[in-house]
Structure 1
């Protein structure tokens, strides 16, 4: 009986990984179903006495432990827990690592599933950009191709889609530069999927991920080509500039990055950021500065929105009552570092930064130790994600976080595979 439970558990975990590979770029509901299937599989494995290979959890502990302490110290576990990262979105890290390490699934097959679903996401963005219709609400009677692309969101919110496209682009870039095709042999898939992902990332027009992509591409080129990196980076910049300046909406979007006077998106962020800093400086107790205020933090920040509005825009707000909720998203930070500082204090911020630095460092070491550009792509991806986080709460976006954890499972599996000498 115990053996039967173990076999069922193994099958469910394998199914969960394949489901995630197909649903991550397509459906948050599908992801939740897949995680439930995988969770049930883990339970069955434990009941059956089966072996579960767990990845190194130290990097996860770096941000989870401070968050857990903050949640307990908040005095309102239910509300504080909702602000934390301590949820089922972390589980794909374990599912993927276990399934690959125990050979419950094949990496080549997982990547094939993921490449197909990634192409569908990219296609949805490109199609929307030039038809001006979202595929989820497509009307053939209004079908028309336009020369000027609109900002496309594809199957999710614009920023969620941008985060997925960014992560998936650099994941597949890593496998594309694996000359021996040891892990993903379907090079014909990559020749189609990778350009589509990067093109869709441009058409999505999420400026934070444009910035993150510049950082990631430059670092990747530096690792891979060293002295020639500047030449190749300049070539990429010229290609990107040529594409954006060919389309006036893309050009306007690029130019808006530097407009901190009249661009509404930028000034909104500046007002929110200033409100966070003022609340932390003036109203947070020593305990809250150290451990954060996950329950009341944003309420305290809202108090400073009218003042910040006047400081940033040079004029009084049109009204005060309801201003924070109606215009400024109840001080949703649009900055992952400010979010951690407000919700989980200096301890939480330090934990999250240490988490990202840990991932970059171990992959940089992997690149130099094993001379494989896959790890340069991983390190660059995490660094670019960190750069994008200055302008978005990217790590706490459920769909983006699930994708991040899925990729992290692949990353840690490959690191361990190289360390054991099995990847030679």
Structure 2
């Protein structure tokens, strides 16, 4: 780490230090425990609220938060008109997670803040990867598809996909010994992602990392793609078969995702404005299920169809607006930021959004709290650079 953390914290007030440490612990525990992570997140919210009222601080609204407010508003409408109000109301508490965006934007602005958060997260990913390798080798909690500390391979793959995009972007920035550290983390993330055997996340990682390369230095693709092909050719048969199943029209899960899409369209046609209500698709799925479908699913394995079906057209438009603004603002950081750290962080954010969207065509990854909070962090913190430049 190329700065003195003790001297850095020494220049902060007790309120800033407490909030910094609480948020750092939130970031650290994302790949380890959602319960502990959210405890520190809401403790950070509480500290922010108390100190803002105490010091009468003006709260600034980041540009990406406007579509989030719109999405939240229409989610509330969807809850009111839900087929099961109580279930939707309980699910809607997830909206509080969006407060991470103004929390970051109003309280952290230094490169050192986010370097500390990224280092904390990276050490947690090392622990998570070690757990994945232990699970794969059968040393502890043996699993065919590893889940790390998160309990489910889909959640693990979603978190590792985003971390891979962030770490890979960091390797392009660093020109010192820390570059080796980020390369090592990218490799760890790649391996643990492979061991989840989650095809949607594999595709997401491919598109996310490819986009980062294209935006940074397109010629690198001519090296990266042959390396990927060689990896597939010489990978274990289980990995190779799993990869080839992506293109198999007779694969049961491939067919079932088509059936889920049809069921989702049927739900949308009945509840187009406000959807069936948050977390209610699982309650009504059987009523709209295709006869050939094999499974009864808790969700529709597609972000766009799921949001449209359970929250309606207005919430979906708001969500797409949020994605568009997030890409646009991070692109502005990449083009105009004078600080390399924020410039390449924005590149990682654009790659992460791309990977998240591709993976989200086959999985409702926006429904995972771990994935959502990490995505919001990665998207938001580069935007602080624009705020800093505007004020300077």
Q: Give the TM-score of the pair, scaled to structure 1.
A: 0.79
Which residue number in structure 2 is paired with residue 145 of structure 1?
A: none
Change (3 A) 1:43 1:375: closer
Q: Residue 249 of structure 1: SS of its match in structure 2?
A: helix
Which residue number in structure 1 is paired with residue 291 of structure 2?
A: 309
Which residue number in structure 1 is paired with residue 223 of structure 2?
A: 232
Q: CA deviation at 1:76?
A: 5.8
Which residue number in structure 2 is paired with residue 17 of structure 1?
A: 23
Change (3 A) 1:223 1:410: same
Q: Residue 247 of structure 2: SS of its match in structure 1?
A: coil
Q: Does 1:251 align with 2:240?
A: yes
Q: CA deviation at 1:81?
A: 2.9
1:400 aligned to 367, 371, 384, which one?
371
Distance 1:236 1:64 in 2: 43
Q: Does 1:291 align with 2:274?
A: yes
How many aligned positions are there?
373
Which residue number in structure 1 is paired with residue 5 of structure 2?
A: none
Q: Residue 222 of structure 1: SS of its match in structure 2?
A: helix
The residue correspondences of 1:242-281 to structure 2 (distance < 5 A) are 242=233, 245-261=234-250, 263-281=251-269
Q: Does 1:51 align with 2:60?
A: no
Q: Give the TM-score of the pair, scaled to structure 2.
A: 0.85
Change (3 A) 1:14 1:97: same
Distance 1:334 1:362 in 2: 28
Which residue number in structure 2 is paired with residue 211 of structure 1?
A: 203
Structure with greater Cα Rg: 1
Structure 1: gaps (5+ residues): 1-5, 139-148, 318-326
Q: Does 1:114 align with 2:114?
A: no
Change (3 A) 1:279 1:194: closer
Q: Residue 293 of structure 1: SS of its match in structure 2?
A: coil
RMSD: 2.9
Which residue number in structure 2 is paired with residue 94 of structure 1?
A: 102
Query: Per-residue displacement from partner, 1:161-220 (whole Å, max 9, x unpaired)?
Result: 001101111112222212467xxx844532322211112112222111111111112211
Distance 1:76 1:392 in 2: 24
Out of 119-128 and 91-100, give the one that drifted further. 91-100
Which residue number in structure 1 is paired with residue 130 of structure 2?
A: 123
Q: Check the 8 A contact 1:91/1:405 in 2, yes or no.
A: no
Q: CA deviation at 1:19?
A: 0.7
Which residue number in structure 1 is paired with residue 147 of structure 2?
A: 153
Q: Does 1:167 align with 2:155?
A: no
Change (3 A) 1:236 1:224: farther
Q: Residue 13 of structure 1: SS of its match in structure 2?
A: helix
Q: CA deviation at 1:391?
A: 0.9
Out of 80-89 and 207-216, give the one that drifted further. 80-89
Q: Residue 147 of structure 2: SS of its match in structure 1?
A: coil
Q: CA deviation at 1:289?
A: 0.5
Change (3 A) 1:390 1:14: same
Q: Does 1:201 align with 2:193?
A: yes
